[in-house]
Chains A and B, each alone.
Chain A
Amino acid sequence: DTAVSQTPKYLVTQMGNDKSIKCEQNLGHDTMYWYKQDSKKFLKIMFSYNNKELIINETVPNRFSPKSPDKAHLNLHINSLELGDSAVYFCASSQGRGREEQYFGPGTRLTVT
């Protein structure tokens, strides 16, 4: 039983396209996150939602738009993809919005050509 799942696992697309990555957690957690791991292995938070409410919104181009239809799902939509968007994107969840361990999905490797 996968706790945090992401689809797709791999995504190869061309510059200028629009794509979405989906995330689902079955842990009953209230908070979900999107992280980006770039080529230098730097894992950086992008967004966090608590009960469908946006609580962390780091400096991310507005081409990136998260959507949380319910507290078990947090999707990431990216418009007008650029070469620099190539990275591994991780979804995570935690029980609350405090300092707790986060449970990560397996990652989505996005390659923009």
Chain B
Amino acid sequence: DQQVKQNSPSLSVQEGRISILNCDYTNSMFDYFLWYKKYPAEGPTFLISISSIKDKNEDGRFTVFLNKSAKHLSLHIVPSQPGDSAVYFCAASGGGNQFYFGTGTSLTVIP
């Protein structure tokens, strides 16, 4: 039973434009969320997080938005750069250090 879903397996965006990656979750107990970025043949690396007490968290070009009522979060990358091309995973936790991951969205930024 997949509690975290990323329904878009892939996304292509022109360089300089906005990339929006989406993530949905089903467990209302989840209250902490992270985004990871993964390059081929490497492990995921942490990108940005958000707690359920916030609805937005920003770090440079990356912003995560959380809509608790819709059980939905999104990652915005502005402006997108070719080096952002990677697989992006969202992960959610309802407590402790146990995180549930989505299946990832492969982002391609076209120069």
Contact = CB atoms under 8 A, between A and B. Distances in A.
A100 B91 CA distance: 11
Contacts of A106: 41-43
Contacts, number: 61
Interface string B59-93: 00000000000000000000000000001010001
Given A99-B93, A104-B44, A106-B42, A42 B2 contact: yes
Interface in A52-103: 55-56, 90, 92, 94, 96-103
18 contacts: A31-B97, A33-B97, A42-B101, A42-B103, A43-B44, A45-B98, A45-B99, A56-B97, A90-B43, A92-B43, A97-B96, A98-B97, A99-B32, A101-B49, A103-B45, A104-B36, A104-B44, A106-B42
B32 to A, nearest CB: 5
Interface string B31-53: 01010100001111110010000
Interface magnitude class on chain B:
20 to 34
Given A40-B103, A106-B41, A99 B46 contact: no
Contacts of B101: 35, 42-44
Contacts of A56: 96-98
A99 B41 CA distance: 26
Nearest to A45: B98
Contacts of A21: none
A96 B104 CA distance: 25
Given A100-B97, A104-B43, 13 more contacts: A33-B97, A35-B101, A40-B103, A41-B87, A41-B104, A44-B101, A48-B97, A90-B43, A96-B97, A101-B46, A101-B49, A104-B45, A106-B41
